Amino acid sequence: MDPVLTARIAKPGSRGIDGYVADGGYGAWKKVLSEGWTPERLTEEVKKSGLRGRGGAGFPTGVKWGFIPKDTKGKPVYLLCNADESEPGTFKDRLLMEKDPHQVVEGVILSAYAIKCRDAYIYIRGEFYDGARILEAAVAEAYAQGFLGEKILGSAYSLDLTVHRGAGAYICGEETGLIESLEGKRGQPRIKPPFPAVSGVFGAPTIVNNVETLACVVHIVNRGAEWFAKIGRNEKNTGPKLYCLSGQVNRPGVYEAALGLQLKDLIFGDAYGGGMKDGRKVKAVIPGGASANMLTAAEIEDCPLDFDGVAAKGSMLGSAAIIVMNEDTCIVDAARNLSKFFSHESCGQCTPCREGTPWLHKVLDRIEEGAGRPEDIALLERICNQMANGMTICVFADAAIAGPLSSVKKFADEYRHHVENKRCLVGPRAEAAAVTV
């Protein structure tokens, strides 16, 4: 597949609007306006393309847009571009924003048009300082050239776009946490229902879409829903996809491929990861960011990297952050590291998550440091099981237990080795003397 989303990123001056326009940029937006597309037609086109949200949940984008009530009772409709990309292992949106920001801006404009939005926001994570600066410059250029603002390109449609920087919290990537944060409040997920499409930011109907999702809309308009739908493994998993490959592979990075790329191809393919570093073996793979269940080496056989393919393996594609761990990785240490992240990032409003995530981290830390007890393994499972599945307002807790719980189940021997021998089975500390506590 020829690159679609990443076609321009390597070009010199890929950020500027002149180069973007020279490459046919804002053509989709001009096409929609000059051909007189109605918002409904645009939505229909996106529905037909089969585009599913690239942020993690994989919800069909056109269907989501359709949840905006027909009668909004005089309330405005908002589009929020979720650029909070904070899932560990994920760095695809950053690439799009920093290297081809106008593609993102055009995607936002088209999608805003589709949902009849007058004011749109790009909520970008606080740590993306460069990204925010680049996007702000791009938005200013788009205003200057008349792609944004009042009565765009002579049409009756007006749109304002604001780049809003977050303050640095993972939970603000959750759409209702993002909404709270955008409203100037503490970033805490809201109770649903009501869903954002009915009552979102400022109490108005709101659509939250991921950066990559919105970028895809540009190409759906340019090249048609049918073209888009033909890319991908099957009709439920369509379009180009950015994969974030990290871990002990030869060439980590962002790779674009048709949705449904085989996980093994991504790791070993010459066009992608180029195999494991130093020829070590794969031990475990996290296929969808820190929130996804780990897969064992056996499970990565025939694992198409799309929403349904990874789900069939008992994990999820999530943000398509593929983290590869080799045979020298201590799995307990990996789980400990994940649990530390989630313990640090829990917003703290729900009891099971606020109290459970640090507890998980403490127990994993104890095991890793050689102070584990045989009963800790059952304890870990119990803590995990009583945190998730409706115990909390949002799915953060479900994400927080994914790494620890899947590793305990799939690498039970290694955990047992830890608690029995008070040290790692593999890795730099495997040979270290037992720690006495």
Partner 1 sequence: MSANPEPPKAPAPPPPPAKDTFTVIFDGRPVEVPKNLNLIDAAKLAGVEIPHFCYHPRLSVVGQCRMCLVEIEGMPKIQAACTTPLKDGLSVKTTTEKVRSSRAATMEFLLINHPLDCPICDQAGECTLQDNSFGYGQQLSEYDEAKRQYPTFDRTPIGPNVIADMTRCIQCTRCIRFCQEIAGTSELTFLDRGGRTLVWTHDGGPLANEWSACAADVCPVGALTVRQFRFRSRVWYLQKTPSICPGCNIGCNNSIEARENVVYRFLPRLNPDVNDYWLCDHGRFLSESLNLRDVSKATWREAGAVRDLPVPAAVDRIAAEIRGAIETKGAASIFFLGSAHLSNEENFLLRKLADHLACPNRDVVVDRGKPRKIKSQKGWITGEEAAPNFRGAREMGLTPGRGGYGLEAVLSGKSAPDVVIAADAEFGAAADDPAAVAALRKAKFLAVAARRSNALTRAADVVLPAASLAEKDGTFTNLQGRAQKFERAFLSKPPVRAHWELLLLLAAALGWGDPDWTPAELRARIAEEVPGYGDRPESELDGGRLLKKGDFAWKGAL
Please report, as ranges, the residues that interact with partner 1 according to CB under 8 A: 169, 171, 186, 191, 193, 343-352, 354-359, 362-363, 366, 375, 379, 382, 386-387, 389-393
Minimum CB–partner distance for residue 44 and partner 1 (Å): 32
Nearer to partner 1, 303 or 405 (CB): 405
Per-residue buried b or exposed e for 64-85, using 16+ beta carbons within 10 Å of the residue's own CB: bbbebeeeeeeeebbbbbbbbb
Nearer to partner 1, 140 or 378 (CB): 378
Q: Which amino acid makes up residue 377? A: I
Nearer to partner 1, 275 or 314 (CB): 314
Nearer to partner 1, 118 or 192 (CB): 192
Tokens 């994969």: give the residue: 243
Nearer to partner 1, 152 or 169 (CB): 169
Minimum CB–partner distance for residue 343 and partner 1 (Å): 6
Helix, strand, or coil (residue 124): strand
Minimum CB–partner distance for residue 186 and partner 1 (Å): 6
Nearer to partner 1, 233 or 361 (CB): 361
Q: How many whole angstroms separate alpha carbon 279 and alpha carbon 308?
A: 30
Q: How many whole angstroms separate alpha carbon 135 and alpha carbon 214?
A: 14
Minimum CB–partner distance for residue 382 and partner 1 (Å): 8
Minimum CB–partner distance for residue 87 and partner 1 (Å): 17
Task: Return all residues near 42 (Cβ < 8 A) that are at least 6 apart.
Answer: 32, 110, 113, 114, 221
Nearer to partner 1, 151 or 382 (CB): 382
CA torsion sign for 205, 211, 214, 218 is positive
Minimum CB–partner distance for residue 179 and partner 1 (Å): 16
Q: Which residues pair with 262 in a beta bridge?
A: 304
* CA distances (Å), origin 97, targets 4, 132, 136, 370: 15, 8, 10, 44
* Bond from prior residue into 193 cis (ω within 30 degrees of 0): yes
Judge contact between 178 and 80, C-beta under 8 A: yes
Minimum CB–partner distance for residue 340 and partner 1 (Å): 11
Judge contact between 200 and 210, C-beta under 8 A: no
Nearer to partner 1, 263 or 387 (CB): 387
Q: How many whole angstroms separate alpha carbon 40 and alpha carbon 46?
A: 10
Minimum CB–partner distance for residue 39 and partner 1 (Å): 31
Nearer to partner 1, 191 or 434 (CB): 191
What tokens does 353 get? 């998550």
Nearer to partner 1, 365 or 414 (CB): 365
Minimum CB–partner distance for residue 350 and partner 1 (Å): 5
Q: How many whole angstroms separate alpha carbon 403 and alpha carbon 334?
A: 8
Angle (CA) 192-188-186 rounded to 5° is 140
Judge contact between 46 and 225, C-beta under 8 A: yes
Minimum CB–partner distance for residue 374 and partner 1 (Å): 13
Judge contact between 287 and 263, C-beta under 8 A: yes
Tokens 């593929």: give the residue: 322
